[in-house]
Structure 1
Amino acid sequence: MKIVAVTSCPTGIAHTYMAAEALEQAGKDAGHDIQVETQGSAGSDPLAPEVIAAADAVIFGADVEVRDRHRFDGKPLVEVPVKKAISDAPGLIAQAVELARTAPAPGPAPALASKVTTDASHATRVRQWLMTGVSYMIPFVAAGGILIALSFMIAQLAAGKQGAILVTQIPLTEVTQNFDVTSGMHWAALLFQIGGASFAFLVPALSGFIAFAIADRPGIVPGFVGGSLAVAVGAGFLGGIASGFIGGFVALWLARRKVPKAVRSVMPVVVIPLVATFVTGLIMLIVLGRPLKWVSDSLTDGLNGMSGANLIVLGIVLGLMMAFDMGGPVNKVAYTFATTGLAAVGNSTDATQLKIMAAVMAAGMVPPLGMALATRLRPALFSEPERENGNAAWLLGASFITEGAIPFAAGDPLRVIPSLMLGSAVTGGMVMGFGSTLRAPHGGLWVTPLIGGVLPYLIALVVGTVITAFAVVALKGLRTRAAVADPALVDA
């Protein structure tokens, strides 16, 4: 059989490539010819049209929309979340082969349709639409957050503790008209202005690409305009999510209308953007703006009002979520909560949202680091492939790629996952208790200079890593001792 596949995850960093590798290996082991297109954060190298044309079946392992999916129309299709492609690649290969042999080829898809398959459940489609918006938003968060954090760092070096406040008061005209290359504060102000401009696109990008996932290109204009209006009325990222869905569904409804042939050519460039944008703007400004602003303000006030034990409990919960499925839906909920919260921070250097981001990143680093340490502490408890994965997990953990722990959890979930959750929960609670802050949404140890309260942050990370490693070693050691006492328990 000739099989083609596409893998894609919300962040486009780890799951995308791990799924591709798993599918390629499973296809090779089963004796099939498989080629995989990875649609990651660095873009993609599309499969050649002749390769797609010759394929007997298609596999989509994706949590976001597959770009240009119309290329695969008419081919038997297996579509699953990206994590399924990692954990059960042989099963997907077998399913694709069986489908190619028995199922009739589907007819061509409509010219304008949702970017998510219509046979998926409603919950799956909503999650994919939302994750598409988040995946396109994250680069804006990363660029803006890191630039602003660097600006504060340079300002503090140039003007002391008050530098972070002073840099926010330097007007744009001062940077553009009187820039002094020898002034540290001017460099800090330059970085701050560029980072602020990147941050200004957070909500519009979230909204625009949710609408894009729903309606394809006709959804981009109403989505972006709706997101901008959500910012203007103070509805924040909640307003961006709402406007994305409104703009997407209005555009999709219009795109599916049967219109006279004379009007058809101007529908995508005039009628759809005009009507969809007007309807989206009307709903956002007149109907949803005030209620969503109240909800957004209440959420922000509630987070900023949290202190002491409440913050620690929140950190523990976020840590549990980050480790539970290591990059899966629960992990992504916690990560999205942290990154979207950065949009509401503004110029603050001590907002609760910055503490949440620090806790989430530290907790997400613990699982691979803990497993890497465990393979060093008791290598005899792990297979040779697991020990090799342990060597790679050091770098993956240091880079905040939680998925580095997946190979260990897949082989022994009942012992590994609770250990990971324990260590991450402790780290998340400690980071929140220490009050460490972080504006960068990704980077792991490579963005350590941007962490506020870096020493306690690193202490929390080390403590969680050690706890995870010792818990894994202890639980695996119990299994080994039980197996020695009774060989029938070796597979328990």
Structure 2
Amino acid sequence: MNQKMHKHMMSGISPIIPLLVVASIFMFLFLKLDSLNIQNSLLNEMINVLNQATQWMYILVLPVFAGFIAYSIANKPGIVPGLVGGGLAVYATGMIGALVAGFIAGYLTKYILVLFKNIPNTLKGLSTMVIIPLLSTLLVAFFMLLFNMSFSQIFRDIEQILIQLDLIYAILFGLIFGIMMAIDMGGPINKIAFFIGIVSISQGRSTMIMASIMASGMVPPLSIALLTLINKRKFKYEQNQLAKKNWMMGLSFMTEGAIPFSAENPKKVMPAIIIGSALAGAFIPLFGTTLSAPHGGILVLFLMTNWWGFLISLAAGTMITVILLLILLPNVQEEVVENK
């Protein structure tokens, strides 16, 4: 995946993360309130609205995802065909179809804009507001019709595989996604794993894959923070100060916090981080832990099934990484300067 495609995909992922987090919290609240069997018409109506809002948010995920990808590529003219293409993927090819729709809508609209570049000024307003959106949306709609007919069953099967894994395969997937989350910490490989996690929960599901991805993504920054607490001589004074931020970054699922430390000594830091993250991801299925939110770290613990398994897996992966770093990393040569 080249940098431009990665940028466009992330432009689609960024706005759906809060949408999915809010939807999963709304679903949690609805299920809890609905189980109380409240005998009050006003409260029941509010609970019903909560349910409807939840369903709408999950429906909006794919159009918003595709729409923002198309917007990233073709600016405002790409929004309408992107939204329509993503909407047509909702009940057919799912998240993968919306990804394809976003890129097709964006690049197709960009090409149409080039074709209409030299039209007379008197027609530019009409072309921008009517002709270009109409033409691009029609072409994207027909493309998605053919795409959905050809690949609907294949992508549905892929989604089912992701959410109905046998234990052995779940452990294997957790191991692989753990490696992917740690290997470039926020780079393209990390984002591919993260995207697959989003695919698994995009229709309101709670999956072991998403829980594995979040646990393994939290290990690198947390392990660095803990290491500097146990032995400050493994890094320079400035890095020890910087590592304090990794507590919050790790707890909030921001893997990038470990990058400055891995860059300092990648041959020794990276293997330790990858092993710890992989094991954290692999441990999750052993406890049957699942998650329905794509972000939030420790703040979405209440949305997990068997949340205690998440904490055990996270702690185990972090401790393994810290032990390996204590063994592999030499003490820095300079004296550690203590705060006065």
Q: Same fold (TM over 0.5)?
A: yes
Deviation of 1:480 after TM superposition, in Å, equals 4.6
Secondary structure at 1:357's aligned position in 2? helix
User: What is the correspondence of 1:166-315 to structure 2 with a 5 Å cutoff?
Assistant: 179-181=41-43, 189-232=48-91, 234-257=92-115, 258-285=118-145, 287-315=146-174
Residue deviations 1:370-392 (CA, integer Å, cap 9, x gap)? 11111122222221122212322
| Residue number in structure 1 paired with 2:193 | 334
Paired residues of 2:17 and 2:295 also in contact (CA < 8 A): no
Residue deviations 1:148-195 (CA, integer Å, cap 9, x gap)? 233334445x36xxxxxxx9xxxxxx9xxx7433x6xx6654433222
Q: Which runs of 5+ in 2 are unaligned?
A: 334-340
Q: Which amino acid aligns with 2:192?
A: V
Which has the larger share of strand?
A: 1
Structure 1 residues 188 and 373, CA gap change in structure 2 (3 angstroms): farther
Structure 1 residues 187 and 465, CA gap change in structure 2 (3 angstroms): farther
Q: Distance in 2 between matches of 1:421 and 1:155?
A: 42
The number of aligned residues is: 331
Q: Which amino acid aligns with 1:180?
A: L
Q: Which amino acid aligns with 1:147?
A: F
Paired residues of 1:149 and 1:439 also in contact (CA < 8 A): no
Instruction: Confirm or deny that 1:358 pairs with 2:207.
Output: no
Pick the aligned partner of 1:402 from 228, 244, 255.
255
Q: Which has the larger radius of gyration?
A: 1
Paired residues of 1:255 and 1:267 also in contact (CA < 8 A): no
Instruction: Confirm or deny that 1:456 pairs with 2:316.
Output: no
Where relative contact order (Cα < 8 A, 6+ residues apart) is larger, the structure is 2
Q: Distance in 2 between matches of 1:179 and 1:425?
A: 49
Paired residues of 1:358 and 1:438 also in contact (CA < 8 A): yes
Deviation of 1:270 after TM superposition, in Å, equals 0.5
Q: Distance in 2 between matches of 1:431 and 1:188?
A: 32
Structure 1 residues 412 and 126, CA gap change in structure 2 (3 angstroms): same
Deviation of 1:260 after TM superposition, in Å, equals 2.9
Paired residues of 1:238 and 1:292 also in contact (CA < 8 A): no
Q: Distance in 2 between matches of 1:201 and 1:467?
A: 40
Structure 1 residues 411 and 280, CA gap change in structure 2 (3 angstroms): same
Paired residues of 2:93 and 2:152 also in contact (CA < 8 A): yes
Paired residues of 1:154 and 1:188 also in contact (CA < 8 A): yes
Pick the aligned partner of 1:446 from 285, 294, 299.
299
Structure 1 residues 192 and 420, CA gap change in structure 2 (3 angstroms): farther
Q: Which amino acid aligns with 2:167?
A: G
Secondary structure at 2:259's aligned position in 1? helix
TM-score normalized by structure 1?
Answer: 0.63
For structure 1, which segment, 372-381 or 187-196, has the greater mean C-alpha deviation from structure 2 after superposition?
Answer: 187-196
Secondary structure at 2:78's aligned position in 1? helix
Residue deviations 1:247-297 (CA, integer Å, cap 9, x gap)? 222211221122233322211101011111111111112x11112212211
Secondary structure at 2:42's aligned position in 1? coil
Deviation of 1:474 after TM superposition, in Å, equals 0.7
Q: Which amino acid aligns with 2:55?
A: G
Structure 1 residues 179 and 332, CA gap change in structure 2 (3 angstroms): farther
Residue deviations 1:311-332 (CA, integer Å, cap 9, x gap)? 1010011111111111111111
Deviation of 1:142 after TM superposition, in Å, equals 2.0
| Residue number in structure 1 paired with 2:290 | 437
Q: Which amino acid aligns with 1:295?
A: I
Q: Which runs of 5+ in 1 are unaligned?
A: 1-121, 160-166, 168-173, 484-492
Q: Distance in 2 between matches of 1:238 and 1:334?
A: 13
Residue deviations 1:202-237 (CA, integer Å, cap 9, x gap)? 1101111111111111110111011111114x1111
Q: Distance in 1 between matches of 2:309 and 2:291?
A: 13
Structure 1 residues 145 and 380, CA gap change in structure 2 (3 angstroms): same
| Residue number in structure 2 paired with 1:132 | 11
Q: Which amino acid aligns with 2:82?
A: G
